C-alpha cells in the first residue's frame, strides 16, 4: 500500500500541515520537528508527489538543466550532479538540450520556463556565457545559476560557479615544460566557449613564463570532439619539425589526437606526449591512459544546483564559488627523447 502524508504525520506525531511545511522546505519550522518528520519519511520510505506539490501552490519544485554540448560524458556528469542536489532537496529535474546558435533560442527557453513553471535553471557554456540570453531571462525574472570559465577576478552578477580553466591549462603545460618539452602544440575547442579562450590563455601564459616562443603553426583550431582531435593531430604531425608534445583542449580531443598518432606509427609517449583536460572517462579508456587536468564536473553541477535552490533571485549571492582544476599525471606524457627537443 502506498504511504501517504497522513501516515507520515501519524508516525511523527505531528499534523499533516507540519509534514507539508517540512517537505516544502518552509521557514520557521523547529529543527527538532524537521528531524522528527524526516525520520518518519525515511522509516516509511515516503515519496512526496512532486507534481501535485507544483500544482497545489505557487512554489515550483522543478529545476531545468539547459545545455548545448557535444561531450556526452560532460552532460552525464552534469546531470548526475544536478540530480544529486535535486533528490536531496526534494526537487525534480527537467533536461532540455538545445542549439545555442539558433536565432530563436531566447524565445525557446522563455517559453519553456513559463510553460514548465520552473523553480530555476542550471545554465552551462556556451548558454551561460550568452549576454543576450541572460538579459532575456532577467526580463522575465527567471531564477538561474551559471557555470562559466573564470576565476575570482572575473566580474559576475547573480549566482555563479566559476571553473578556473586558465590555471588548469597553465599547470598541465608547465608539466610538459618541466619534463623538458620546448616544441608544444595546442588543439583548440569550440571558439564560442569561454573555456577554450581560458585554456589557450593558460597555455600561452606557461610558455611565456618559460621563455618559449609561441609558434602559430603549432596552434590548431578545433572543436570539442574526437574527430577534431584526429584532424588536429594530423596537422601537427605534418609540421617540420613536429611538436614533441600536444596540449588538447579536452580529453575527447586528446583521445582523437592519440588515435591519429598511433595510426601514423608515432609512439605515445616515446615520440610525442599528449595531454588532455577534464579527466573524463576518455582519459582512462585510451592506451596509454591520458595525463589530463581533473575537473570535478559532477561536484560542480551539484554545488551550482544547491546554490540555485538555496537562493531566490532577490537574495542571490554575489560571491561566486570557484573550482580550480589540477593535473593528473598518467602514462601519455614523459620527457622528450632528446633534452634539446
pLDDT digits (tens, 9 = 90+) for 169-189: 999 999 999 999 999 999 999
CATH architecture of residue range(s) 5-48: Orthogonal Bundle (1.10)
Do residues 255 and 270 lie in contact, with contact meaning Cβ atoms separated by under 8 Å?
Answer: no
Q: Helix crossing, 5-12 with 31-44: angle to 10°?
A: 120
How does pLDDT run across 139-179, given as a tens digit for each residue?
888 899 999 998 866 656 678 999 999 999 999 999 999 99
Do residues 127 and 67 lie in contact, with contact meaning Cβ atoms separated by under 8 Å?
Answer: yes
How does pLDDT run across 202-250, given as a tens digit for each residue?
999 999 999 999 999 999 999 999 999 999 999 999 999 999 999 999 9
Confidence of residue 316 (pLDDT cuts 50, 70, 90): very low
Domain 5-48 and domain 165-295, same fold? Reply is no
SS in 3 state form for the chain? CCCCHHHHHHHHCCCHHHHHHHHCCCCCCCHHHHHHHHHHHHHHCCCCCHHHHHHHCCCCCEEEEEECCCCHHHHHHHHHHHHHHHHHHCCEEEEEECCCCCCCHHHHHHHHHHHHCCCEEEECCCHHHCHHHHHHHHHCCCCEEEEEECCCCCCCCCEEEEECHHHHHHHHHHHHHHHCCCCEEEECCCCCCHHHHHHHHHHHHHHHHCCCCCCHHHEECCCCCHHHHHHHHHHHHCCCCCCCEEEECCHHHHHHHHHHHHHCCCCCCCCCEEECCECCCHHHHCCCCCEEEECCHHHHHHHHHHHHHHCCHHHCCCCCEEECCEEECCCCCCCCCCCCC
Do residues 23 and 48 lie in contact, with contact meaning Cβ atoms separated by under 8 Å?
Answer: yes
Do residues 335 and 180 lie in contact, with contact meaning Cβ atoms separated by under 8 Å?
Answer: yes
Average pLDDT over residues 59-67: 84
* pLDDT score for 200: 97
Sign of the CA dihedral with 69 first, then 72, 78, and 84 last:
positive
Angle ∠(65,68,74) on CA atoms, nearest 5: 75
- Most confident option among 54-58, 72-76, 232-236, 337-341: 232-236
CA distance 108 to 299: 28
Residue 50 confidence (pLDDT) above 90: no
Phi-psi region of 117 (alpha: psi -120 to 50; beta: other; left: phi over 0): left
Matching residue, cell 602514462: 331
What does the domain layout of the chain look like in residue ranges?
5-48, 62-164+296-324, 165-295
CATH code of the domain made up of 62-164+296-324: 3.40.50.2300
Phi, psi of 161 (to 5 degrees): -115, 120
How does pLDDT run across 91-114, given as a tens digit for each residue?
889 998 989 888 899 998 888 888
Superfamily of domain 165-295: Response regulator (3.40.50.2300)
Amino acid at each position: 500500500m502506498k504511504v501517504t502524508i497522513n501516515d507520515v504525520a501519524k508516525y511523527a506525531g505531528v499534523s499533516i500541515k507540519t509534514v507539508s511545511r517540512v517537505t516544502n522546505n518552509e521557514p520557521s519550522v523547529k529543527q527538532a520537528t524537521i528531524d522528527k518528520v524526516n525520520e518518519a519519511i525515511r522509516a516509511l520510505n515516503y515519496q512526496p508527489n512532486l507534481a501535485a506539490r507544483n500544482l497545489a501552490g505557487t512554489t515550483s519544485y522543478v529545476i531545468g538543466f539547459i545545455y548545448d554540448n557535444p561531450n556526452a560524458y560532460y552532460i552525464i556528469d552534469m546531470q548526475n550532479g544536478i540530480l544529486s542536489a535535486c533528490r536531496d532537496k526534494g526537487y525534480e529535474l527537467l533536461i532540455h538540450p538545445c542549439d545555442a546558435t539558433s536565432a530563436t533560442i531566447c524565445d525557446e527557453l522563455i517559453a519553456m520556463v513559463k510553460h514548465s513553471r520552473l523553480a530555476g535553471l542550471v545554465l552551462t557554456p556556451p548558454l551561460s556565457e550568452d549576454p543576450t540570453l541572460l538579459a532575456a531571462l532577467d526580463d522575465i525574472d527567471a531564477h538561474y545559476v551559471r557555470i562559466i570559465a573564470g576565476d575570482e577576478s572575473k566580474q559576475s552578477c547573480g549566482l555563479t560557479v566559476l571553473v578556473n580553466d586558465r590555471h588548469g591549462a597553465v599547470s598541465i603545460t608547465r608539466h610538459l615544460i618541466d619534463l623538458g618539452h620546448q616544441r608544444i602544440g595546442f588543439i583548440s575547442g569550440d571558439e564560442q566557449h569561454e573555456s577554450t579562450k581560458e585554456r589557450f590563455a593558460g597555455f600561452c601564459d606557461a610558455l611565456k613564463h618559460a621563455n618559449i616562443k609561441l609558434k602559430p603553426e603549432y596552434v590548431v583550431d578545433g572543436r570539442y570532439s574526437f574527430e577534431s582531435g584526429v584532424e588536429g593531430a594530423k596537422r601537427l604531425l605534418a609540421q617540420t619539425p613536429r611538436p614533441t608534445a600536444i596540449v588538447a583542449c579536452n580529453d575527447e580531443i586528446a583521445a582523437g589526437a592519440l588515435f591519429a598518432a598511433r595510426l601514423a606509427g608515432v609512439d605515445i609517449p616515446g615520440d610525442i606526449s599528449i595531454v588532455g583536460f577534464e579527466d573524463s572517462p576518455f582519459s582512462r579508456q585510451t592506451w596509454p591512459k591520458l595525463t589530463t587536468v581533473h575537473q570535478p564536473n559532477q561536484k560542480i553541477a551539484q554545488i551550482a544546483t544547491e546554490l540555485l535552490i538555496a537562493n531566490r533571485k532577490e537574495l542571490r549571492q554575489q560571491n561566486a564559488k570557484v573550482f580550480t582544476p589540477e593535473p593528473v599525471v598518467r602514462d601519455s606524457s614523459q620527457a622528450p627523447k632528446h633534452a634539446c627537443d
